[in-house]
Amino acid sequence: ADSAFALTGNNPDLIKFLQDGGTNTSGTLLMLALTGLVVLSIVPWIRRWFFDIWLFLHIALAVCVIVFCLMHEVGAVVVVAVWWAVDVALRYLVMAGCRYPTTATLRKLPTNDVVEISFRKPESFDYNSGQFVQIAIPSLSVLQFHPISISSAPHEEYVTLHIRALGGWTKKLVALAEKRQAQGHNTTEITVFVEGPYGSASIDIDNEERYKTVLLVSGGIGVTHCQSVGKGLLHEKAMGRSLRKVRFVWTVRDLSLAEEIPPLASNESHHHHHASPSNLVVPNVGRGSSAFDNNRTPGRLVHDSDSHDSETGLNIGMDNNAANGLVPSVNTDIANIDIYCSRNSDGRKAFIDTPLACNLHNKRPDLDSILESLKKEAIENGESSVAVFGCGPSGLINSLKNACRKHSDPVIGCGGVVFDVHTEIFEF
């Protein structure tokens, strides 16, 4: 029956109407639960700084929505609830608990509050470059699954994750690694639950006819996404893919992070105790075999000297060790690596454990210059599309997208170039 407190009733009263009878009460509670879910989802700083609380409230309110729907006689919600329960069971019990490894190696990197988690890749774990997994560590919390980008490539023997202390859970993880390290264990085995992988690129990077040039731009720990994509592309090149260039641009606050996560280097070296440069398995895709000689001394970054190509932004300077073969003087034809350090005022050098040539710039990257250079090369080689991957803080990603829009030609197929962009922002 119609409520007496409705607008058409004898005594209109909104507050009393919302509580008048079981149907109205359940509808009111359902509305409040849905409103809570929306508010928690659209305010980014809540989930960023209070993720544990956000996750608990999100799950609790979702359960409330199901309960209040049943009270409101919305029986169809049972289908949704059962589907949700099956999904949780498959992902957390079957996938994380049974199908994938539950033991991994934890290693605290010497600097930057970064830890590395790795496990041998099982046959059942298939993933694509640039994907992420959900991971839980029971010693911290068995119920908290956090999304972490995979920094290894699908062809590598080990699945590797690099995690930086940015929030409560990640800080606890770093503290756990430091505690084990203080006990004399540089690496230690931990129990993990892994489910996934998830995610896909918004551009068809597998289309080798369309994308012969790829630009990878990352900031800070966002390099993990670009590492995976870049190493995968170099492997595909070694397997016969028609790939002309991979431009790897990484901006860091200090050089120590680049020293601990060598750009585009195989993770095999970390699982053989950093025995020798020969452990760095990088495909021979450059200009002659010498460019990717796995038996050479790892490349060393040089100063951002006055010998500088203003168009490409590449450092072509060399230090005194160059004559001894310790420093690759120029980048190879395929893989160009540029590291931009915003806090290297003392101009120090850094050893990067990779046989690939690296260039150091003590400034922020000039994205306009980089894109203009790639566009010119693409036109000269008859290419109409360049794939761009970006991962990092929102400021860098917004600048990258704006630059790509600026340098993309509006008409495809008329001799112009379009920059197709896929971006990830690690500020969850």
Residues 373-385 as b or e (16 or more Cβ within 10 Å = b): bbbebbeeeebeb
What is the pTM for the complete model shown?
Answer: 0.73
Q: Is the pLDDT of residue 288 over 70?
A: no
Question: Both tokens of residue 287?
Answer: 């200009």
Question: Both tokens of residue 305?
Answer: 């000297």
In this predicted model, which residue has the larger pLDDT, 172 or 94? 172
Which pLDDT does position 162 carry in this prediction?
Answer: 92
What distance in Å separates the CA atoms of residue 37 and residue 31, rounded to the nearest whole number?
10
Neighbours of 221 (CB within 10 A): 25
Residues 6+ apart with CB under 8 A from 377: 213, 245
HSE of 265, CA atoms in CB hemisphere, 13 A: 28
**Residue 385: in which H helix or E strand, if any?**
strand 385-392
Report the percent of the chain where pLDDT is more than 90: 22
Which pLDDT does position 77 carry in this prediction?
Answer: 80
Q: Is the pLDDT of residue 345 over 80?
A: no
Q: What is the pLDDT of residues 227-263, one digit of tens each?
A: 999 999 999 998 888 899 999 999 988 788 888 888 8
What distance in Å separates the CA atoms of residue 347 and residue 109, rounded to the nearest whole number?
23
Tokens 């508010």 correspond to 39
Q: What is the pLDDT of residues 380-423, one digit of tens each?
A: 998 989 999 999 988 999 999 999 999 998 765 556 889 999 99
Average pLDDT of 132-158? 88
Q: What is the pLDDT of residues 254-264, one digit of tens each?
A: 788 888 888 88
Q: For the CA atoms of the chain, what is the radius of gyration?
A: 26
Which pLDDT does position 2 carry in this prediction?
Answer: 61
Confidence of residue 154 (pLDDT cuts 50, 70, 90): very high
Q: Is the pLDDT of residue 371 over 90?
A: yes
Whether 158 contacts 152, CB under 8 Å: yes
HSE of 324, CA atoms in CB hemisphere, 13 A: 8
Which pLDDT does position 274 carry in this prediction?
Answer: 41
What single string gives the DSSP state of each residue in 45-64?
Answer: HHHHH-HHHHHHHHHHHHHH
Which pLDDT does position 85 carry in this prediction?
Answer: 84
Beta-bridge partners for 403: none
Considering the chain, what is the average pLDDT of its residues? Answer: 76
Question: What is the spatial order of strands in the sheet that 132-137 belongs to?
Answer: 141-149, 132-137, 193-198
Confidence of residue 307 (pLDDT cuts 50, 70, 90): very low
The whole-angstrom distance between residue 274's C-alpha and the CA centroid of its chain comes to 24
Which pLDDT does position 188 carry in this prediction?
Answer: 84
With H, G, I as helix, E, B as strand and everything else as coil, classify residue 426.
Answer: coil
Which pLDDT does position 427 carry in this prediction?
Answer: 61
- CA 104-125-101 angle, to 5 degrees, is 30
Q: What is the pLDDT of residues 36-54, one digit of tens each?
A: 888 888 887 777 777 778 8
In this predicted model, which residue has the larger pLDDT, 274 or 346? 346
